[in-house]
Amino acid sequence: MSDTPTAILKSLPSVDRLLNTDAGRDLVAAHGHAATTTAIRASLDAWRNRIREAKSPPPDPSAILDEAAIALDDAAQPALRPVFNLTGTVLHTNLGRAYLPEEAIDAIADVARSPSNLEYDVDAGRRGDRDSHIEDQICRLTGAEAATIVNNNAAAVMLTLNTLALGKQVPVSRGELVEIGGAFRIPDIMTRSGCTLVEVGTTNRTHLKDFTGAIGPDTAMIMKVHTSNYLIEGFTATVPETELAELCRSHSIPFVNDLGSGTLINLENFGLPHEPTPMDALRAGADVVTFSGDKLLGGPQAGLIVGRKDFIAKIKANPMKRALRCDKMTIAALSAVLRLYANPDTLAERLPALAALTRPQSEIRSLAERIAPTIAARLGEIANVSVIECASEIGSGALPTRTIPSAGIAISPAGQQGRGEGTALKRIAEALRALPKPVIGHIESGAIVLDLRTLTDQTGFCAQLDRLELKA
């Protein structure tokens, strides 16, 4: 009789009794009384269900507490955590874009740990301006008269539109009505910024006369948007920036250029394809230029707005600026990253984004050859592991059609063609993602490809492969 489900249920220890064991007290010390009580209750419930379904003999109290401990440990893990981005997209928007140099991380820690002179002028002993810490740096690097920063480039575009074109019209070429991932669409941004988009030209061809014809008494400015993530090819025409700038000047309206990524260096000097810089845009006559902090610039999430002093002053005075302003940690990190730009000779070593983008294929290939045997040792029985050449993308909408030759590891299920192959691939991908520091690759022609361009921690990567577990 004593092992009927009812008898077993009755014999289960109470929550209080479990809390008062040594293991229970340890859990309370680590996780607090309330969370531990809840976890023990949940564990008891799970055991009760299993006993009712006659699937379980009477559990040992330690087994009940072990289950509670696992749940408590899981809940204590941060939800936001590091991963290995081996997708082949260097600045991956879903994986946090640029990762920061140590100098920036130290700068973040310094201002996070202590009060700082964020809005305090130490020399004068009075209130200061948070932008003052980086405005000079940005101006020196871009050649702009003035600069300000906000939370991201989407905010930079909205704030610029809302300041310079509220209630008025903004002509934009139909070829530049971009959608960046994550719901950033130029027509919607225009509406939400309080202006009216005037579409000009056609998808493939826009001429100066189209803009000239669109300008009227309600035109506030002309905006150019960098077609970050697509290319219009074939029978095309765009209006040179210098001509748009000239047209704006003749109507005394500002010419605004949203560069999207923007980079503060000539990428061609680093063997990479050219991406327009804010310096180019300003030289071509833009009055205001906006770009991201965490795309090719390689810094923290931020939106930089540079240009003419009077326009920047207006932008800074917009009450929306207060809502979109950067946090002190962002300012500290961005300033540290911009300091690295002061010495372009060491930039490719010290700025992780640029280091990854300029890493030679031969070096990546050697890394792949060193690592492949470790992966093969783990997966050898179920998968073919080989070193391959692949192509990295820059990502974040920069240079969408250009790739960089890279190398990596292809893992394909062994002895399975066709039917079972997809499932086997999915299982391996899942196992890689289930590692303590998840490994994210991409699937290409029946294999999981791990592009090693962005792998810097070889030791950490290999060490955790012991824990690769393939579920049956």
Residues that bind ligand PLP (CB under 6 A): 152-154, 157, 178, 180, 184, 225-226, 228, 258, 260-261, 292, 303, 397
At CA 301, angle to CA 392 and CA 223, rounded to 5?
Answer: 90
Backbone angles phi and psi of 371, in degrees to 5:
-90, -30
Cβ proximity to ligand PLP: between 298 and 397 the closer is 397
3-state secondary structure of 175: helix
Minimal distance, residue 457 CB to ligand PLP, in Å:
26
Calculated CA dihedral for residues 391, 81, 77, 465, nearest 10 degrees: 30
Using only C-alpha atoms, the chain has a radius of gyration, in whole angstroms, of: 28
Minimal distance, residue 433 CB to ligand PLP, in Å:
25
What's the CA gap between 468 and 464, in Å, rounded?
A: 7
Minimal distance, residue 395 CB to ligand PLP, in Å:
10
Name the token pair of 114. 């202590």
Residue 406 pairs in a beta bridge with 390
Minimal distance, residue 461 CB to ligand PLP, in Å:
28
- The number of residues making up the chain comes to 472
Name the token pair of 319. 């009450």
Name the token pair of 318. 């917009």
Minimal distance, residue 260 CB to ligand PLP, in Å:
2
Minimal distance, residue 384 CB to ligand PLP, in Å:
38
Cβ proximity to ligand PLP: between 91 and 439 the closer is 91
In SS3 terms, 244-298 reads as HHHHHHHCCCCEEEEEECCCCCCHHHHCCCCCCCHHHHHHCCCCEEEEECCCCCC
Minimal distance, residue 150 CB to ligand PLP, in Å:
9
Cβ proximity to ligand PLP: between 148 and 152 the closer is 152
Cβ proximity to ligand PLP: between 340 and 398 the closer is 398
Contact, 449 vs 443, CB < 8 A? yes
Cβ proximity to ligand PLP: between 15 and 172 the closer is 172
Give the contacts of 196 (CB within 8 A, at least 6 positions apart). 168, 169, 170, 190, 218
Cβ proximity to ligand PLP: between 182 and 418 the closer is 182
Q: How far is CA 44 from CA 2, 33, 48, 283, 359, in A?
A: 19, 16, 6, 70, 54
Task: Of 226, 221, 219, 291, give the one whose Cα is nearest residue 256.
Answer: 221
Cβ proximity to ligand PLP: between 43 and 261 the closer is 261
Report the residue number whose CB is nearest to ligand PLP: 260
Minimal distance, residue 122 CB to ligand PLP, in Å:
31
Minimal distance, residue 228 CB to ligand PLP, in Å:
3
Contact, 48 vs 89, CB < 8 A? no
Cβ proximity to ligand PLP: between 104 and 178 the closer is 178
Cβ proximity to ligand PLP: between 88 and 397 the closer is 397
